[in-house]
Amino acid sequence: MKHPEVDKYSSLRSPIHKLDPRLKLVSFLVLIFSMVLINDLRFALLGLFISFLLLSVSRLPLDFVFRHVKWVFLFVSPFLIIMPLTVGGSEMFQVFGAEITHEGVQLGLLVSIRALSAVILVFPMIGTMRFDTTIKALYDLKVPSSLVQMLMFTYRYIFTFSDEFSRMRNAMASKGFELKTNLETLNIIGKAIGMLFVRAYERAERVYQAMLSRGYTGNPKTLTAFRMKRSDYLLATLIIGFAILLHAPALVI
């Protein structure tokens, strides 16, 4: 089974790749939160442009990014249909007797653009460094250790259990199982999922004991050493500056 690797292109060379991981996480998260809090459609479009600009600077392949972003677009696209029909305001035109409002169109576009901009920014944030480096950066930023470890083990073993379930599904198919909409099918799937949880628990116990025997203390350890440079501060300041620029009208008022 092919798995999505978030750090597949972490070995590329770009200014975003070279940015200190701690500053990268902080500055990009500030920009992402700034994006989702925009209330002006014009500045939302500016935010989308900034997202594409940073994505271009990161040199991540566009097909890699759009292959994942398309699912986000499918999720937010209903807003472009529902909001114009449900939000009250000045009428633009009618479709089969239904009133399409100017305010609804604007709100639908605003929600969709904000979501797309935020998701696009996630790729240059975490796709330009190795996953273990991201974990260490989170730990250095004083993110709770239990949360960091949960994220680390989830990413590490979600693919393992996905493969496990795939093997179980192939074994069921080889015994003549067919997916149908009846109680027998639900009963078999329920038992398969239950068995998967049992195997997950047993694997977790074995992994935990193996880690303890190797001196695991709960703190992530890597050979990566972080060192901030002047260029890191400059680029991080520029990214945070973009975040502030998106709310310029509110700051002026």
What contacts 126, CB < 8 A, 6 or more positions away? 6, 7, 134
Measuring CA to CA, how many Å separate 83 from each of 34, 77, 88, 102, 132?
23, 10, 9, 10, 41
Average pLDDT rounded to a whole number, residues 185-212: 82
**DSSP class of 91:** E
Biggest CA–CA distance in the chain, Å, is 71
Tell me the two tokens of residue 210: 């193996």
253 vs 119, more confident? 119
Residues 244, 46: contact at Cβ < 8 Å?
A: no
Burial of 190 (0-12, 13-18, 19+ CB in 10 A): exposed
CA distance from start to end of the chain: 54
Of 30, 64, 71, the C-alpha closest to 47 is 30
Of 220, 222, 24, 228, the C-alpha closest to 123 is 24
pLDDT on residue 221: 65
Confidence band of 213 (pLDDT split at 50, 70, 90): confident
Confidence band of 32 (pLDDT split at 50, 70, 90): very high
* Confidence (pTM): 0.78
Q: pLDDT (tens digit, 9 = 90+) per residue, 134-147? A: 888 888 888 888 88
The dihedral over CA atoms of 131, 136, 142, 146, expressed in degrees to the nearest 10, equals 70
Average pLDDT, rounded, for the chain: 83
Average pLDDT rounded to a whole number, residues 17-26: 92
Neighbour count for residue 253 (Cβ, 10 Å): 5
Residues 92, 101: contact at Cβ < 8 Å?
A: yes
Of 113, 141, 125, 88, the C-alpha closest to 38 is 113
